[in-house]
Amino acid sequence: MQAMEIARRMAELGQADDALQAYTLAVHEGGLAPQEELEAAVYILQAGGSYQVPYTCFLNLYRRGLYQEETLALLTGAFYEPNVKQLKNRYERNVKLLKRYPYLFRKDFLPFEELPIQFYPYSDDSYIPFFPSRREFGEFTDIKRPVISRNFFKDLEKPILAADVYSQYELEYLRDNVRRSDYVGRENHLYLHYTDWGAFCSYLQCLNVRPLLEEEKIVFLIGDEVAQYPIDFKERFGMDYSQYPVKPVGIREVTRMIWLSQLQSHNCINFFAEILDGHPNILSAPAQMFDKVEEGLNTWKENVKKVHSTAQIAKSTETVNRIQRELYLLKDQTDKDILVAGYLGDERCTMATDPASRIVPALLLSPHFGYIGYQILVDPKQNLTILYSREYEKIRNSPIFKNFKYIKSVAPFRRPTTSSAACVRYMWKNALASWEDPEEEEQKLIGDDVNSRVLNRSYLIDWQDRLFQDSVLARFEDGKLNPKATFTALAEFLDLPYTESLTYCSMFGERDPESLKGDARGFDPRAVYETYPDFLGDSERYFMEYFMRDTYEAYGYDFQYYDGQPVDEARVEELCNHFDTIDHYIEASAKKVKAKLEVPEGIDLSDIPEEDVQKILSERLMELNRENRLKTGKTLLRGLHFINNHAQELHMMPLLKLDPALLEQPLYH
């Protein structure tokens, strides 16, 4: 029996809860006739189900020209009229504030009833605009969506001028990141140009202008008033900002982070950190292990606790003394404050920043891990696959990230098979060094990077997770082979000007540093074309390409090993039986590093000769690796579909798009 039939039958029997559940299921399954969709939506609304379901149904029917009188009446009665008083009150509060504001020169605000746009609330901060004159609904608008949608700071030669900004999030971002005129010793007001007075007035139903006006930093220009930009404040208002000295950036002025996220081992995070190093609008530091970041913060915290008066602040450079004093005087210090203080107090991090810049510098943070592990959790009853990573959870729950108001996430990415082979090579070199060094306490064991890499789906993002709502994936190969196009696009995404510093690699000002001994420096393309065949074989690469084929397609990589043939369990077993290259290194390390190997449960090795113990343990390790690979392969044969903890499907992180006109050579595939 279909869901609609069940729903009607349950409604007839008076079983309201069951009917509500069935009607909701029918809507989600889709395929309903228009009258059935309307019937289901009305029942869900009247029965107190999720209001967003009928809202969406009514809106879709209206836009398709179906039952327009009925659906408009339902939308208005259920979603607009109950909120109209709140919308009117917000509008009138904003109008009252703006009438007194000195840098809005037009004051003929429209009566609320004459506003050309009505806003139908979808949630606390999101709306669907309705245009009564055209009887049309506009596009979904979330005024607090944490995304900076354009390159506001592309040109810093003149004061910032931005047109038709109707996002509360972006308005506050501009307020927070454009420095005050008296801080930079020149006219530096933020100019907001609104092309349509009626639209500007209408959005005052949704926005909160009070926090935007407090510092009188913003100048509003309506329509043709844009011809006044930029205003000579000395001549017109008698304000001569050149009399003020440049004020050093304060700890809490820094509100935005550029997060270079580590999707996988050997994703070339160092290369991108070296490109962003030295930018005049970035507080930069090299990529570093996350535990080292936490250790540094804890050290700062302990030092701060020891200070009970400004007289106790250790004598150091003028900059360090100023930062330590400012940090000490801050109320309710956060981990973010301490991190920013560490950057501002380190002249290596600030050596290239422009102290008189119109904008506050962003802080570049590139924390990474020695290993990124992912687990696939399967619910066979609901056919759902959930991803979990302990390392990612550490980032997501970090108070550092929680306290930055604005975060742009850049995820460097490299061809998976090349990246994996490079990782095996790196592990092998480290293992050899650990075995040969008599003072090395921890001898290294080679891990199964192929299985880990296939499980690693960190490029799949949760749209509900703040950390990845404003994110982009940047291919390593593009950065090496088409640097101008790549870093022009990256500067635009990061809302920064494209500067000369983006044309070379550096670390604390040192040009083309050697991040890892023997690795290619700067824009040397060796790391693009070197595939490291001695460290990963064809079977391993075929296995990876097949189970990451969605990744290859989304991010523009051609298959080099997978031949497009169907893969079943028998084929998975055949591939797993021939991971000869990586197994050579794993087994060699297993025979060397006894302490790392676990004794199989139920096996007593006490009476076995020492020379045989290592052999038994290494054989068991190889068996476990094979079992895990088979399990991974058979699980992924179910399909490459993954969800978050709220059963919402994960999506591919957006790829950084390059301007074809700036390409120096064809895109890498």
Enclosing domain of residue 21: 3-66
92 is a domain residue: yes
- Among candidate residues 575, 611, 470, the one with its CA nearest the CA of residue 142: 470
Please report the pLDDT score of residue 319 as a whole number: 78
Cα-Cα-Cα-Cα dihedral sign, residues 429, 431, 435, 439: positive
Tally Cβ neighbours within 10 Å of residue 569. 11
Place of tokens 């039986």: 577
Q: What pTM value is reported for the model?
A: 0.91
Please report the pLDDT score of residue 590 as a whole number: 83
CA–CA distance, 61 with 34 (Å, rounded to integer): 7
CA–CA distance, 625 with 649 (Å, rounded to integer): 29
- Considering the domain architecture, whether residues 10 and 141 belong to the same structural domain is answered as no
- Of 247, 279, 307, the position where a domain reaches its end is 247
CA–CA distance, 173 with 322 (Å, rounded to integer): 26
240 is a domain residue: yes
Q: Please state the domain count of the chain.
A: 2
203 is a domain residue: yes
Please report the pLDDT score of residue 613 as a whole number: 65
CA angle 635-639-642, nearest 5°?
A: 90
Residues ≥6 apart with Cβ < 8 Å to 216 = 101, 102, 103
Please report the pLDDT score of residue 367 as a whole number: 85
- Of 231, 247, 263, the position where a domain reaches its end is 247
Residues ≥6 apart with Cβ < 8 Å to 39 = none
- Considering the domain architecture, whether residues 49 and 129 belong to the same structural domain is answered as no
- Considering the domain architecture, whether residues 150 and 38 belong to the same structural domain is answered as no
Place of tokens 């060699």: 588
33 is a domain residue: yes
Answer for the pair 222, 229: CB distance below 8 angstroms, yes or no: no
- Considering the domain architecture, whether residues 8 and 101 belong to the same structural domain is answered as no
30 is a domain residue: yes
Please report the pLDDT score of residue 430 as a whole number: 86
24 is a domain residue: yes
- Considering the domain architecture, whether residues 231 and 181 belong to the same structural domain is answered as yes
CA–CA distance, 143 with 126 (Å, rounded to integer): 6
- Of 228, 247, 266, the position where a domain reaches its end is 247
Answer for the pair 244, 185: CB distance below 8 angstroms, yes or no: yes
131 is a domain residue: yes
Please report the pLDDT score of residue 389 as a whole number: 78
Please report the pLDDT score of residue 252 as a whole number: 97
Query: Which residue type sits at 23?
Result: Y
Answer for the pair 628, 460: CB distance below 8 angstroms, yes or no: no
- Considering the domain architecture, whether residues 10 and 104 belong to the same structural domain is answered as no
- Considering the domain architecture, whether residues 24 and 154 belong to the same structural domain is answered as no
Answer for the pair 90, 206: CB distance below 8 angstroms, yes or no: yes
Answer for the pair 230, 187: CB distance below 8 angstroms, yes or no: yes
Q: Could you say which residues of the chain have pLDDT below 50?
A: 595
DSSP string, 204-258: TTT---HHHHTT--EEEEEGGGGGGPSP-HHHHH---GGGSPPPPPPGGG--EEE
Please report the pLDDT score of residue 313 as a whole number: 65
Answer for the pair 430, 444: CB distance below 8 angstroms, yes or no: yes
117 is a domain residue: yes
Please report the pLDDT score of residue 351 as a whole number: 93
- Considering the domain architecture, whether residues 44 and 104 belong to the same structural domain is answered as no
- Considering the domain architecture, whether residues 198 and 89 belong to the same structural domain is answered as yes
Residue 334, SS3 per DSSP: coil
β-bridge mates for residue 163, sequence order: 193
